[in-house]
Structure 1
Amino acid sequence: MGTWGIGPFDNDTAADFAVDLDEAAAAERVPMIRRVLERAAAGAEFLEIPEAERAAAATALVLAQHPAGGPSGSGYGPSEPLPPLPAELRTLALAALDQVAGGLCELAVVWDQAVDGPKWRRGVVRLRDVLDPPLPPQREVLFAL
């Protein structure tokens, strides 16, 4: 596995995906991201590492344009600016990320056995929390009449 960090672009597959996006015509970039997310979200019998790495990278790109998101990660992401991504990709990215972090994903299995596995999991949870923020605890409000 050509991986040098826990970030979504810190592996050969995701870095290659970023290059593919940079080399694609501007009109093809959104469909490329959508296809990667759709393949991962489809819930294949077992999601293999390359598909999972591309899906994590695509999710990071969706989050980079989310109001609560941030930069897409390391300097190995796309160099060329992406067009605005449709908001509905957020739901697709969430479904893809759930598959990447699930028990039927080779990448999750490998990270769970790695020393930095807990850091990787925390990064996945952070990405997920931006896409689907946890509800704040309900506070009971008493009204005096």
Structure 2
Amino acid sequence: MGAWDSGPFDNDSAADWCGELGDAGPEDRAGVVRQALLGAAESVDYLEVDEGSAAVAAAAIVAAECCGGPPVTSAYAPDFLREGGGIGLSDDLVPLALRALDRVLGEDSELWELWEEADDGRSFLAEIEPLRAALTRGAAG
């Protein structure tokens, strides 16, 4: 991999997904986020790294936009988000984002397996925990 770090946008798979999001028309971006979350949350098979990475990036966007979570600042994130733009996401994505993160951190998840092998998942969890905290606050309303 060219990019491999623990941030939600900081690996090749997440960066590729962010490219798709950035290339989508403004009216289609919420659907791109929703599909990434659904791809993980509803997966019953082995969750490949590409789908897991897209779901984490999408969850980070939901956390930032809907829940006051960590801002999107990664160089790999879409320019329009780094520049303070938004997507206009609906609050119903908050519980879906939590489900997607749970799936990524669960069994049969390639992304989680890679991080467990690297450092027992510590650096990845350090990035995920603030997202989960913001999403949990948002889900509580």
TM-score, length-scaled by structure 2 = 0.86
Match of 2:57 in 1: 57
- The structure 1 segments of at least 4 consecutive aligned residues displaced by more than 3 Å after TM superposition are none
Match of 1:82 in 2: 86
Match of 1:118 in 2: 122
| Bigger radius of gyration | 1
Q: CA RMSD in A?
A: 1.6
Match of 1:19 in 2: 19
Is 1:30 the counterpart of 2:34 in the alignment?
no
The one-letter code sitting in structure 1 at the alignment partner of 2:21 is L
Q: CA deviation at 1:48?
A: 0.8
Equivalent pairs counted in the alignment come to: 133
More helix by share: 2
SS class of match (2:119): coil
Is 1:108 the counterpart of 2:112 in the alignment?
yes
Q: Give the Cα separation in 1 of the matches to 2:20 and 2:45.
A: 26
TM-score, length-scaled by structure 1 = 0.84
Structure 2 gaps of 5+ residues are: none
- Native 8 Å contact 1:22 1:78 kept in 2: yes
What percentage of residue pairs aligned between the two structures are identical? 39
The one-letter code sitting in structure 2 at the alignment partner of 1:131 is L
User: 1:29-48 counterparts in 2 under 5 A?
Assistant: 29-48=29-48
